[in-house]
Chains A and B, each alone.
Chain A
């Protein structure tokens, strides 16, 4: 659909200004990449729920908000905030505020020579030739307006490259902070992770807010996993409940490459988590593991697109959702097995726990199989906390709130156990525990206040 002129006008203005000052504006390939992406965005406009891929998620709140691009270096951040998002045992931490790299808040750590970690804006100026073969080569800007918008405003983010055969055990931590506040800002962080043949690396992308407020974080990450490379990626979304987060993780896997994507979505008003691996080389393995925890009126949409393009590849998708109050979760698991991808083994499981009558989940498998010798399975469940299990725990002396929390932790632990042990898993696990603790506490408080309200209204009736 052609986007409305009214909706586009602010983007046209922003893009005109951005194109004049953007890093690498003189690089022909980058300029045409941005321009092509912006033109495509203008053609498509923001998706509506009439589009199959957006059936369960309305982004009209994003389309209707007038976002401004942030001014560079305008924000400040306290040491306490930074300490709260510290991954013990991380190799280094890059901090971005509203999409821009903040050097003095970042800790470059002591990285071996085989690992290069830099911010993209600087890298575009200093090493454009190194970026050119990969940047924007994998992300599909033709079918996803958010990916094209991100590419149009491609400016800063992280660039990580690990040389062939090198292994870095400690995770690299990328922390993206939104300032929030009264004026809605849009940022478009862009990351490129290149793991060359036989290398091994772990990256944590974390999104958090400095203050409540409406913001759009439209982020995209391209991972290039060379032959036999092992890449582990964590996405932790914990932004303010008024903010919008759209992320796209595009993974290109070489022969025998082994990639794990772990997503933990707990923040945001509207969150869309796109994970799109392409198993392009034979023998690739891909694990797509996720946990989404929603409460209030949060809308958490997970769109998985797993493409098997070569024979003998395996993919496993496991997403667990925990939804309370009026939260709405979506799991869309699409698997495409291309004609030549014989002996594909693809598995998909989505399990959901609904903690209230008003919580909702839409789960949709979509299998497109063009090869004849493949194994594809999918399954989805939607349930509640089991009353038997709750009573069993309580009958042993554990109070109701703690028993509920234990059962939620048990449900979430399925997801945690798929993560390889190490600092990244420990960090993710602690975050999940904290979030579930808040969930059960909030549930208890809302139950208590509902009881008070019911008592009050009952009293009122008596008086009446």
Chain B
């Protein structure tokens, strides 16, 4: 059985259709990458899967682990094991990172019928994962993402993923804006989590990330549909030839020239 099964997905925002019949299947243990020009619907797909309510689903079906994902609230999808690393992580002044992470982990554990973790049990876990992402422990006692650098925010997303240990992790342009050192750390964090019980959907604009995180499958998303799929070699080809289709007119042609 596929862990994620997307069939003919259509989604709208502000009455504009963004996803126009998208199909995708991901098996547990696999890492898929979705590439595509700006405005092709990559982030919309990520947000729809994480159950952001501002998107209207007009057609199609998504099964996550055999269950109807589109009927789930964001928190239910998360508790079922779906994780989205945000392109733009949100700052939340007044809640410490550590408290936020423990609240999230306990919400997920409670849903699964596991005991909640107290602060004493949680701290060693948080330390271990922070080390993996080379995050300063001081960041744990600061407000969530507040005054974090761009790289710290992205590493914080991967740290959350490591703590919550999801079945399916969606990374939405986690590589954007990262320097090479931060990119290596993030990639190492992802690679350390790869395994037969987990799948990844890595949304990226740049091939560079895929030098460090080697995908099983690469898909090209253009204008709300997957137009090509292939192995890791497809990413390299795209890097040299571009997406081979014109950009949506409104977005300009700068990227298409690449």
Contact = CB atoms under 8 A, between A and B. Distances in A.
Interface of A: 386-389, 391-400, 402-403, 406-407, 409-414
B90 interface: yes
B107 A395 contact: no
A402 B90 contact: no
A388 B78 contact: no
Contacts of B53: 391
A397 B95 contact: no
A396 B104 contact: yes
Contact of A394 (B54, B74, B108): B74
A397 B108 contact: yes
Interface string B45-89: 000001111100000000000000000011101110001101001
A17 B173 CA distance: 78
Given A396-B160, A397-B108, A402-B107, A410 B79 contact: no
B78 A395 contact: yes
B191 interface: no
B118 to A, nearest CB: 17
Contacts of A392: 86, 89-90, 92
B34 interface: no
B94 A410 contact: yes
B107 A396 contact: yes
B92 A399 contact: no
Chain A interface helix/strand/loop/mixed: helix
A397 B164 CA distance: 9
B92 A389 contact: yes
A3 to B, nearest CB: 46
Nearest to A398: B107
24 contacts: A388-B90, A391-B52, A391-B90, A392-B86, A392-B89, A392-B90, A393-B100, A395-B83, A395-B86, A396-B78, A396-B107, A397-B75, A397-B78, A397-B79, A397-B107, A397-B108, A397-B164, A398-B103, A399-B73, A402-B103, A407-B92, A409-B95, A413-B95, A414-B94
B92 A410 contact: yes
Nearest to B105: A397
Given A402-B103, A406-B103, A394 B94 contact: no
Contacts of B83: 395
Contacts of B104: 393, 396-398
Given A394-B73, A397-B75, 17 more contacts: A389-B90, A392-B86, A395-B75, A395-B78, A396-B78, A396-B100, A396-B160, A397-B105, A397-B107, A397-B111, A398-B103, A399-B73, A400-B73, A400-B75, A406-B100, A409-B95, A410-B93
A388 B104 CA distance: 16
A395 B50 contact: yes
A414 B103 CA distance: 20
A413 B164 CA distance: 26
A83 B147 CA distance: 42
Interface centre among A387, A388, A397, A403 (most CB of B within 10 A): A397
A148 to B, nearest CB: 41
Contacts of A395: 50-51, 74-75, 77-78, 83-84, 86
Contacts, number: 74
B201 to A, nearest CB: 15
Contacts of A412: 94
Nearest to A408: B94
A409 B78 contact: no
B94 A391 contact: no
Contacts of B89: 392
A449 B86 CA distance: 34
A398 B95 CA distance: 14
Interface centre among B53, B74, B90, B105 (most CB of A within 10 A): B74
B107 A399 contact: yes
B188 to A, nearest CB: 22
Contact of B94 (A400, A402, A403, A411): A411
A16 to B, nearest CB: 53
B65 to A, nearest CB: 15
Q: Which 5 A-B pairs have the closest CB atoms?
A: A410-B94, A396-B104, A397-B78, A394-B74, A392-B90
B94 A413 contact: yes
A388 B87 CA distance: 12
B146 to A, nearest CB: 10
B87 to A, nearest CB: 12
A409 B94 contact: yes
Contacts of A406: 95, 100, 103
Contacts of B54: 387
Interface in B109-129: 111
A386 B74 CA distance: 16
B239 to A, nearest CB: 31
Contact of A396 (B52, B73, B164): B164
B30 to A, nearest CB: 22
A391 B74 contact: yes
A394 B78 CA distance: 8
Contacts of A407: 92, 95
Contacts of B50: 395
B110 to A, nearest CB: 9
Nearest to B78: A397
A438 B79 CA distance: 25
B56 to A, nearest CB: 16
A410 B93 CA distance: 7
A412 B93 CA distance: 11
A412 B164 CA distance: 27
Contacts of B107: 396-399, 402
Nearest to A413: B94
Interface centre among A386, A396, A398, A406 (most CB of B within 10 A): A396
A394 B93 CA distance: 16
Nearest to A410: B94
Nearest to A407: B92
Nearest to B89: A392
Contacts of B164: 396-397
A412 B143 CA distance: 14
Contacts of A387: 54
Contacts of A386: 90
Nearest to B99: A406
A410 B111 contact: no
A140 B143 CA distance: 43
Contacts of A393: 92, 100, 104
B1 to A, nearest CB: 23
Interface in B200-251: none
A392 B100 CA distance: 11
Nearest to B104: A396
